[in-house]
Every structure is written in C-alpha cells, then in structure tokens.
Structure 1
Amino acid sequence: MPRRTETLASQLLAEGGISSPPVDVEWLATSRGALVSRSSFKDGDVSGMLVRRDGQAPVIGVNDAHSELRQRFTIAHELGHLLLHPGREIVLDRPVRVNLRDRTSSMATDQEEVQANAFAASLLMPAPMLRSELMKLDPAVRQDPDRCTSELADVFKVSTAAMGFRLINLGLVS
C-alpha cells in the first residue's frame, strides 16, 4: 500500500501541474470535486471529516480551531480517504458515508487511517520535491537533523513532527 499511496499522490500532483512546495492541497481537493468547509467542531479532538452523500459533492470538514499546518494535513488526509476508501455508512435522515480524523487516526492502528496518513505525507511532502529541497539547504543545515527538519517543514508548510516522520520514512535522516 505505501507504493500505491505514493503513486496516487504523484499522479494527483502531476495532473494539477504542481512541481514545487508548498503543495496547494485545498486546490487539489476542490479540483477533485470536493468542497472544503472549515468550522469549529464541538469535539476538539476531531481534526476533520469526509462526508459523501449520493448525488452531492463530497465535503471535507476541517476543524478551524486547529493550526493552519494541521488543517493542511487534515485536508490531505481526507482527500486520501476520498480517493482510497469508501467510508462507513451511517444513517441520519438518509445514508451518509463518513470518515473522521481524530486522535485515533494518528495512532496507526486502523489500516485506512494509516493509508490516509501515508497519502497525506506523500502529497504534502513528495519524495522528489523533498530530495530537491534538501539538496538546496546549506551543508551545515543538512548535517543538523533538527535544523534540517525545521527548515524543510517551513518550506513545505507542514509541522516539524510530520516532516521528521517523512524524512525518517524516506531514509533521508536517521
């Protein structure tokens, strides 16, 4: 599945003509027919959700009480669900399919959440772009994992935690 998420993210970036950071993830989501809606969620633990109703555009709900960087990752994560997973059907006044992003999502216990997180990382921090930006850094910065991670996180508009995981997962830092 990691290769599938990388491939899907690369295709989406290519179709969108995006070749440099930061990735305009909201534009990518809307280009795939999704509506992005920001509001404060009563449950502050929930970062976002994807709601799909038959015959209507999917809606990516984003908790606007969270930081801009977290919101960007949430949009990418929910876009991953849109492209990779059918969602779970719940019945309100009519059937609705929902994916939620909450604290459990980041614990890597649910396979769909792991895949959506991998897709989000691949989309926001594509390996080729990351390698290119890494080589642009001063050699002294590249030798300092904390500075390197921080500077790349700024370039890609992601959290230092997300960047750190991505660099480790790609084998670019130890």
Structure 2
Amino acid sequence: MISRSTFKDGDVSGMLLRQDGRTPIVGVNDAHSAHRQRFTIAHELGHLLLHPGREVVLDRPVRVNLRDKTSSMATDREEIEANAFAASLLMPAELMRSELQRLPATVRQDPDLCAARLADIFAVSTSAMGFRMINLGLVS
C-alpha cells in the first residue's frame, strides 16, 4: 500500500510501483494542480512502457520510479525520455500544429499568449506548453 505520507513533503509528484505478477500502480500527489497530475500520470506511463524500473528493496523486491522536482531538469536519460513521452501523449505534434494555426494571428505573434491559449486547449501548464512549443520548433 502506498501511504499519503509518501507525497507529504510536496517534492514527489508521483510514482510508479511495479511488482512481478501484479498490476502496476501509479501514485499521484493530489496536492498538485490537475495539470501537473495529468503530466505526472503520462510521465509514469512513459516509465512503464519505456523503462524496466529501478530495484528498491522494501519488504520484498519491487521496482519503483519516482517523479520529483529533479525529474524535469533534463539530467537523467530515463527522466528525459519519460518527459518526452508525456509531452507527446498530452500535446501531439500534429494536433499542436493544427491548433496553433487555428489561433488568431495576433495570438500567434505573442509566444506567451500563444502558450497560454494552447495550454488551456491541451489542459497542461503554460510551462509544459512552452517547453513543447520550443521542442517542436514552433517558437525560438
């Protein structure tokens, strides 16, 4: 069982718990915004699909991936891949380009306003949208 105290300090956004023979469990910090929770869930799904996990010994061997404040700092290959997976899942490139073209020209000319509008459409944070727009080459 995952205790609420796991997320108590606010540093941990989520975690993926995998035990052999059991259904994987994604835990999410419910103190975080809905947009952050959505990204965290997508990030943990990225770990589930892309990475075998890290061994951690509790009362029996399990594999755990934690998402915390260092996960978004682009310092660990697996975290970078999980973030890229989450961004692609929540903000698909072709749909992003399509929605961008639907915005009024005056909005498209202002990167901050553009990111805010697209963030609302895709239900993500403006910072996540800003990174996605840069990574897709939609803004410089």
TM-score clears 0.5: yes
2:82: which partner in 1? 116
Whether the 8 Å contact between 1:134 and 1:142 is mirrored in structure 2 is yes
* 1:103 Cα deviation from its structure 2 partner: 1.1
Letter in 1 for 2:35: L
* 1:39 Cα deviation from its structure 2 partner: 4.9
2:42: which partner in 1? 76
Q: Distance in 2 between matches of 1:80 and 1:53?
A: 17
Call closer, same or farther: CA 1:38–1:146 in 2, change over 3 Å: farther
1:107: which partner in 2? 73
TM superposition score normalised by structure 1? 0.76
Q: Distance in 2 between matches of 1:98 and 1:91?
A: 10
* 1:55 Cα deviation from its structure 2 partner: 1.1
Structure 2 residue aligned with 1:160, among 101, 126, 134? 126
Identity %: 77
5+ residue gaps, structure 1, are 1-36
Letter in 2 for 1:77: H
5+ residue gaps, structure 2, are none
Whether the 8 Å contact between 1:38 and 1:62 is mirrored in structure 2 is no
* 1:43 Cα deviation from its structure 2 partner: 2.7
1:97: which partner in 2? 63
The reply on whether 1:44 has 2:5 as its aligned counterpart is no
More contact order relative to length (CA 8 Å, sep ≥ 6): 1
RMSD: 1.5
Letter in 2 for 1:45: D
What do residues 24-67 of structure 1 show as CA deviations (whole Å, max 9, x unaligned)?
A: xxxxxxxxxxxxx9956123100000000111110000000000
